[in-house]
Chains A and B, each alone.
Chain A
Protein backbone atom coordinates (compact mmCIF):
# COMPACT_ATOMS: atom_id res chain seq x y z
CA UNK A 1 0.00 0.00 0.00
CA UNK A 2 1.11 3.54 -0.67
CA UNK A 3 2.36 5.26 2.47
CA UNK A 4 4.41 8.08 3.92
CA UNK A 5 6.44 7.45 7.05
CA UNK A 6 7.89 9.98 9.43
CA UNK A 7 9.79 7.80 11.92
CA UNK A 8 10.26 10.47 14.57
CA UNK A 9 7.17 11.53 16.48
CA UNK A 10 8.92 14.17 18.58
CA UNK A 11 12.37 15.73 18.33
CA UNK A 12 14.02 18.23 20.65
CA UNK A 13 16.89 20.34 19.35
CA UNK A 14 18.91 23.04 21.03
CA UNK A 15 18.63 26.49 19.56
CA UNK A 16 21.43 26.99 17.06
CA UNK A 17 21.92 23.26 16.48
CA UNK A 18 21.28 21.56 13.18
CA UNK A 19 18.08 19.69 12.39
CA UNK A 20 17.14 16.75 10.22
CA UNK A 21 13.60 15.40 9.98
CA UNK A 22 13.16 12.10 8.21
CA UNK A 23 10.58 11.11 5.64
CA UNK A 24 10.26 7.88 3.68
CA UNK A 25 7.62 6.99 1.12
CA UNK A 26 6.38 3.79 -0.41
CA UNK A 27 5.04 4.26 -3.92
CA UNK A 28 5.41 2.46 -7.21
CA UNK A 29 6.72 5.57 -8.90
CA UNK A 30 8.47 8.73 -7.75
CA UNK A 31 5.81 11.07 -6.45
CA UNK A 32 5.84 14.79 -5.99
CA UNK A 33 7.20 15.50 -2.50
CA UNK A 34 6.40 18.26 -0.04
CA UNK A 35 7.21 19.47 3.44
CA UNK A 36 4.67 21.53 5.38
CA UNK A 37 4.85 23.23 8.76
CA UNK A 38 1.96 23.87 11.12
CA UNK A 39 1.86 26.04 14.20
CA UNK A 40 -0.71 25.11 16.88
CA UNK A 41 -4.29 25.71 15.76
CA UNK A 42 -3.21 27.00 12.38
CA UNK A 43 -3.34 25.80 8.81
CA UNK A 44 -0.42 24.44 6.84
CA UNK A 45 2.42 26.41 5.36
CA UNK A 46 4.44 24.97 2.48
CA UNK A 47 8.17 24.88 3.22
CA UNK A 48 9.39 23.33 -0.01
CA UNK A 49 8.56 20.87 -2.76
CA UNK A 50 10.29 18.53 -5.18
CA UNK A 51 9.04 17.56 -8.61
CA UNK A 52 12.14 16.72 -10.62
CA UNK A 53 15.66 17.88 -11.37
CA UNK A 54 18.14 18.90 -8.70
CA UNK A 55 17.63 16.57 -5.76
CA UNK A 56 18.55 19.24 -3.21
CA UNK A 57 15.76 21.78 -2.93
CA UNK A 58 15.73 25.03 -1.03
CA UNK A 59 12.69 26.31 0.78
CA UNK A 60 11.56 29.13 2.96
CA UNK A 61 12.87 29.97 6.43
CA UNK A 62 16.28 28.48 5.67
CA UNK A 63 15.06 24.90 5.20
CA UNK A 64 16.27 22.50 2.57
CA UNK A 65 15.46 18.92 1.66
CA UNK A 66 17.23 16.21 -0.26
CA UNK A 67 15.51 13.62 -2.40
CA UNK A 68 17.21 10.24 -2.48
CA UNK A 69 15.54 7.91 -4.94
CA UNK A 70 17.54 4.85 -3.82
CA UNK A 71 16.32 5.29 -0.26
CA UNK A 72 12.82 6.58 -1.11
CA UNK A 73 13.54 9.44 1.26
CA UNK A 74 13.01 13.17 1.36
CA UNK A 75 14.61 14.43 4.56
CA UNK A 76 14.24 18.01 5.74
CA UNK A 77 17.25 19.88 7.11
CA UNK A 78 18.14 23.20 8.65
CA UNK A 79 21.70 24.18 9.63
CA UNK A 80 20.77 26.28 12.66
CA UNK A 81 17.42 26.04 14.40
CA UNK A 82 15.67 29.08 15.86
CA UNK A 83 13.17 28.99 18.71
CA UNK A 84 10.47 30.07 16.25
CA UNK A 85 10.93 26.82 14.31
CA UNK A 86 9.13 24.91 17.06
CA UNK A 87 6.07 23.47 15.33
CA UNK A 88 4.74 20.31 13.73
CA UNK A 89 6.22 19.24 10.42
CA UNK A 90 4.50 17.10 7.84
CA UNK A 91 5.91 15.28 4.87
CA UNK A 92 3.43 14.74 2.04
CA UNK A 93 3.40 13.09 -1.37
CA UNK A 94 1.17 12.92 -4.41
CA UNK A 95 1.46 10.92 -7.60
CA UNK A 96 1.61 12.80 -10.85
CA UNK A 97 -1.61 11.34 -12.17
CA UNK A 98 -5.22 12.41 -12.24
CA UNK A 99 -7.48 11.19 -9.52
CA UNK A 100 -4.88 11.15 -6.76
CA UNK A 101 -4.71 13.31 -3.67
CA UNK A 102 -2.00 14.55 -1.34
CA UNK A 103 -1.14 11.95 1.30
CA UNK A 104 0.51 12.97 4.57
CA UNK A 105 2.81 11.39 7.09
CA UNK A 106 1.80 11.48 10.73
CA UNK A 107 4.04 14.42 11.48
CA UNK A 108 7.04 15.23 13.64
CA UNK A 109 6.75 17.69 16.50
CA UNK A 110 9.83 19.84 16.89
CA UNK A 111 10.68 21.39 20.23
CA UNK A 112 13.54 23.86 20.55
CA UNK A 113 15.40 24.17 23.84
CA UNK A 114 17.40 27.21 24.87
Chain B
Protein backbone atom coordinates (compact mmCIF):
# COMPACT_ATOMS: atom_id res chain seq x y z
CA UNK B 1 0.00 0.00 0.00
CA UNK B 2 1.13 3.54 -0.72
CA UNK B 3 1.91 5.90 2.07
CA UNK B 4 4.44 7.99 3.93
CA UNK B 5 6.98 6.54 6.31
CA UNK B 6 8.65 8.67 8.93
CA UNK B 7 11.51 7.36 10.96
CA UNK B 8 12.40 7.09 13.70
CA UNK B 9 9.22 7.45 15.76
CA UNK B 10 11.20 8.77 18.74
CA UNK B 11 14.51 10.58 18.58
CA UNK B 12 16.73 11.99 21.27
CA UNK B 13 19.38 14.59 20.61
CA UNK B 14 22.02 16.15 22.74
CA UNK B 15 22.26 19.90 22.71
CA UNK B 16 24.57 21.15 19.98
CA UNK B 17 24.09 18.15 17.72
CA UNK B 18 22.50 18.04 14.31
CA UNK B 19 19.91 15.34 13.69
CA UNK B 20 18.12 14.19 10.55
CA UNK B 21 14.52 13.03 10.36
CA UNK B 22 13.59 10.72 7.53
CA UNK B 23 10.48 10.98 5.35
CA UNK B 24 9.84 8.60 2.46
CA UNK B 25 6.74 8.31 0.27
CA UNK B 26 5.75 5.83 -2.42
CA UNK B 27 2.70 7.71 -3.64
CA UNK B 28 4.44 9.28 -6.62
CA UNK B 29 3.59 12.71 -5.20
CA UNK B 30 5.54 15.70 -6.47
CA UNK B 31 5.06 17.87 -3.37
CA UNK B 32 6.31 17.18 0.13
CA UNK B 33 6.11 19.16 3.36
CA UNK B 34 7.50 19.34 6.88
CA UNK B 35 5.45 20.63 9.81
CA UNK B 36 6.33 21.19 13.42
CA UNK B 37 3.73 20.69 16.13
CA UNK B 38 3.89 22.20 19.61
CA UNK B 39 1.10 22.15 22.20
CA UNK B 40 -1.29 25.02 21.57
CA UNK B 41 0.49 26.08 18.38
CA UNK B 42 -1.09 23.80 15.85
CA UNK B 43 1.06 22.70 12.93
CA UNK B 44 3.49 25.21 11.53
CA UNK B 45 5.11 24.85 8.15
CA UNK B 46 8.91 24.46 8.16
CA UNK B 47 9.77 23.72 4.53
CA UNK B 48 8.05 22.39 1.46
CA UNK B 49 9.15 21.11 -1.92
CA UNK B 50 7.21 21.23 -5.16
CA UNK B 51 9.59 19.12 -7.22
CA UNK B 52 12.95 17.41 -6.98
CA UNK B 53 15.87 19.72 -6.26
CA UNK B 54 13.55 22.56 -5.28
CA UNK B 55 12.25 23.66 -1.89
CA UNK B 56 10.87 26.75 -0.20
CA UNK B 57 10.99 28.04 3.35
CA UNK B 58 7.86 27.98 5.39
CA UNK B 59 6.97 30.11 8.39
CA UNK B 60 9.58 28.70 10.78
CA UNK B 61 12.54 27.58 8.65
CA UNK B 62 15.29 29.03 10.85
CA UNK B 63 17.48 26.31 12.32
CA UNK B 64 16.31 23.68 9.84
CA UNK B 65 17.54 22.42 6.48
CA UNK B 66 16.13 20.06 3.87
CA UNK B 67 17.10 18.35 0.64
CA UNK B 68 15.07 16.84 -2.17
CA UNK B 69 17.42 14.71 -4.25
CA UNK B 70 14.81 12.07 -4.97
CA UNK B 71 11.10 12.34 -5.54
CA UNK B 72 10.43 9.81 -2.80
CA UNK B 73 12.52 11.36 -0.06
CA UNK B 74 12.47 14.67 1.83
CA UNK B 75 14.74 14.50 4.89
CA UNK B 76 14.72 17.26 7.48
CA UNK B 77 17.86 18.20 9.41
CA UNK B 78 17.42 19.95 12.72
CA UNK B 79 20.61 21.88 13.23
CA UNK B 80 22.26 23.15 16.39
CA UNK B 81 21.02 26.61 15.40
CA UNK B 82 17.46 25.57 16.26
CA UNK B 83 17.19 26.79 19.83
CA UNK B 84 14.11 24.87 20.87
CA UNK B 85 13.95 21.70 18.76
CA UNK B 86 11.89 19.53 21.11
CA UNK B 87 8.62 18.99 19.23
CA UNK B 88 6.54 16.59 17.18
CA UNK B 89 7.44 16.65 13.47
CA UNK B 90 5.04 15.63 10.75
CA UNK B 91 5.84 15.01 7.10
CA UNK B 92 3.21 15.18 4.38
CA UNK B 93 2.92 14.84 0.63
CA UNK B 94 0.45 15.79 -2.07
CA UNK B 95 0.18 15.34 -5.81
CA UNK B 96 1.14 18.99 -6.26
CA UNK B 97 1.19 22.14 -4.17
CA UNK B 98 -1.90 24.29 -3.88
CA UNK B 99 -4.20 21.36 -4.33
CA UNK B 100 -5.68 18.69 -2.18
CA UNK B 101 -5.19 15.05 -1.34
CA UNK B 102 -2.61 15.38 1.40
CA UNK B 103 -1.17 12.29 3.04
CA UNK B 104 0.52 12.56 6.42
CA UNK B 105 3.11 10.40 8.07
CA UNK B 106 2.76 9.22 11.65
CA UNK B 107 5.33 11.68 12.96
CA UNK B 108 8.66 11.79 14.79
CA UNK B 109 8.91 13.04 18.33
CA UNK B 110 12.24 14.77 18.88
CA UNK B 111 13.49 15.43 22.38
CA UNK B 112 16.62 17.33 23.30
CA UNK B 113 18.38 15.83 26.32
Contacts and interface: CB of A to CB of B under 8 A. Distances in A.
Partners in one complex: yes
Interface of A: 6, 9, 32, 34, 41-44, 46, 49, 51, 90, 92, 94-107
Contacts of A90: 42-43
A47 to B, nearest CB: 13
B42 A99 contact: no
Contact of B90 (A44, A95, A96, A103): A44
A98 B100 contact: no
Interface in B37-89: 40-45, 48, 50, 56, 58, 88
A49 B105 contact: no
Contacts of B45: 101-103
Going nearest first, the 5 A-B pairs with the smallest beta carbon separation are A106-B42, A104-B43, A43-B106, A100-B98, A104-B42
Contact of A42 (B33, B40, B42, B106): B106
A96 B97 CA distance: 8
B98 A43 contact: no
B107 A99 contact: no
B99 A9 contact: no
A95 B40 contact: no
Contact of A99 (B98, B100, B102, B106): B98
30 contacts: A34-B102, A41-B88, A41-B109, A43-B90, A43-B104, A43-B105, A49-B100, A51-B100, A90-B42, A90-B43, A92-B43, A94-B99, A95-B98, A98-B50, A98-B96, A98-B97, A98-B98, A99-B56, A99-B98, A101-B45, A101-B48, A101-B97, A102-B94, A102-B102, A104-B35, A104-B42, A104-B44, A105-B42, A106-B41, A107-B40
